[in-house]
Amino acid sequence: MAIDLLKLQKKLGYDVDTGGMCYGIAYMAIQAIIRDDLAAYISRIEYLEKTLSQHNNNEDAAINEIVEKINVAYEKRKNKQN
């Protein structure tokens, strides 16, 4: 089972266009290839899958954990800049 990326994006506060999100996700993969860092992109996708699995495929719980970790990281970064 794969995590619903559109649901994750909505939870993170992004506007979601169901007709155009695949392009954005593919574009991120292309950027990783250009930077010769496809391993990091794959690792991020695997992290999403692993988190979903750890929550017994409970998508809402997995998304909540991911969003919480992202928010903590943003706060740490913001505090470092101040």
Taking the whole predicted model, whether its pTM rises above 0.85 is answered as no
> Could you state, in order of their start, the residue ranges of all structural domains in the chain?
5-81
Q: If we measure between CA atoms, which residue out of 42, 24, 23 comes closest to residue 32?
A: 42
Tokens of 21: 């999100």
Instruction: Express each pLDDT in 11-58 by its tens digit.
Output: 999 888 877 777 888 889 999 999 999 999 999 999 999 999 999 999
CB–CB of 55/62 below 8 Å? yes
Q: How far apart are the first and last CA of the chain?
A: 41
